[in-house]
Amino acid sequence: MTGSLADAVPQRLGREYRSKADLVAETLRELIADGTIAPSARLRQRELASLFHLSPTPVREGLQKLESEGLVHFDVHRGATVTALPLERLEEHLQILIVLETLAGELAASRMTPERIAELRAIAEEHASCSNGDPRIRELNRDFHFCIYESSESPMLVTLLRFLWRSFPMGPQFWRSHDEARREHALIVAALSEGDVARTASLLNEHVVGSMQSIRHDRSTNEIDSLVAAAALNLEQR
């Protein structure tokens, strides 16, 4: 069990949940999504029970919930591990994201309020002010996209996107350069502020397609495995 996980779990124990299993599932889901728990990491039930101050039963039930979502895999010999997506499945998920994110952008462009535009612009500016390697980049990037999703005023669409983002432990834009991402974010903010539905949809489409192209390039040059391994190691050492 990594030190970062041992630190992160106690911080979430004060929240209210419907059941103890939900507490385990929701907490681990968040930590997988934000990269605190890296792909392929082992989730030892006894150690988790100790961290959550619970018996093994709700821990096991929580892990089973995550297994049903595809976030955790059970193996007879290794027990529970965080699912590491094959590259082909990762591309498939990005293709789905293109469709959903483009739809969210189209809806948001016609429904965004001035207050939402100001919020999105503030997030984009804070994201742009980060230097390369800043640990805030991932969370600010997520905030940027979900500000758009929520502005679509479609609860079902937001739910689907939230579920899909959970399949990208490092975030869908993990392979994009920070300079490229902040430049595209500025263009997206401008299109949304003008209420330009077609332009917003086109920019968001290109934004996700760029991530897919980066993945294909890294795979062709055998760089992608080392990128993921380095990121996972960095998270493990925090």
The last residue of one of the domains, among 33, 67, 82, is: 82
Q: Kindly state whether residues 169 and 217 are assigned to the same domain.
A: yes
Pick 52 or 168 by higher pLDDT: 52
CATH code for the domain of 21: 1.10.10.10
Q: Kindly state whether residues 134 and 53 are assigned to the same domain.
A: no
The last residue of one of the domains, among 42, 58, 82, is: 82
In which band, very low, low, confident or very high, does the pLDDT at 71 lie, cut at 50, 70 and 90? confident
The angle that helices 197-220 and 178-193 make with each other, rounded to 10 degrees, is 170
In this predicted structure, the answer to whether residue 190 has a pLDDT above a threshold of 50 is yes
Pick 97 or 17 by higher pLDDT: 97
The last residue of one of the domains, among 82, 112, 143, is: 82
In this predicted structure, the answer to whether residue 228 has a pLDDT above a threshold of 80 is no
Q: Kindly state whether residues 148 and 99 are assigned to the same domain.
A: yes
How far apart CA 166 and CA 34 sit, in angstroms, is 9
**The predicted structure's pLDDT at residue 166:** 75
CA neighbor of 48 nearest in space, from 70, 25, 17: 25
**The predicted structure's pLDDT at residue 225:** 46
Q: Kindly state whether residues 54 and 125 are assigned to the same domain.
A: no
Q: Kindly state whether residues 133 and 232 are assigned to the same domain.
A: yes
- SS3 state of residue 54: coil
Q: Kindly state whether residues 119 and 27 are assigned to the same domain.
A: no
Q: How many structural domains are present in the chain?
A: 2
Q: Kindly state whether residues 52 and 163 are assigned to the same domain.
A: no
In which band, very low, low, confident or very high, does the pLDDT at 226 lie, cut at 50, 70 and 90? very low
**The predicted structure's pLDDT at residue 30:** 77
138-184 pLDDT tens trace: 889 999 999 999 999 999 999 999 888 877 756 665 567 889 999 99
**The predicted structure's pLDDT at residue 55:** 94
Expressed as residue numbers, the domain containing 48 is 3-82
Q: Kindly state whether residues 77 and 96 are assigned to the same domain.
A: no
**The predicted structure's pLDDT at residue 235:** 38
In which band, very low, low, confident or very high, does the pLDDT at 5 lie, cut at 50, 70 and 90? low
In which band, very low, low, confident or very high, does the pLDDT at 4 lie, cut at 50, 70 and 90? low
- Across all residues in the chain, what is the average pLDDT? 82
Q: Kindly state whether residues 127 and 222 are assigned to the same domain.
A: yes
Contact predicate 59/52, CB 8 Å: yes
Mean pLDDT of 56-67: 93
Q: Kindly state whether residues 106 and 204 are assigned to the same domain.
A: yes
Q: Kindly state whether residues 115 and 213 are assigned to the same domain.
A: yes
In this predicted structure, the answer to whether residue 44 has a pLDDT above a threshold of 60 is yes
- Of the ranges 4-13, 36-45, 156-165, the best mean pLDDT one: 156-165
CATH code for the domain of 219: 1.20.120.530
Percent of all residues in the chain with a pLDDT value above 70, rounded to a whole number: 76
Pick 224 or 132 by higher pLDDT: 132
Residue with tokens 């005023």: 153
In this predicted structure, the answer to whether residue 91 has a pLDDT above a threshold of 50 is yes
**The predicted structure's pLDDT at residue 209:** 84
Separation in Å, CA 49 to CA 3, 75, 154, 206, 215: 16, 19, 37, 44, 37
Alpha-helical (H) ranges within 176-223 are: 178-193, 197-220
Q: Kindly state whether residues 178 and 72 are assigned to the same domain.
A: no
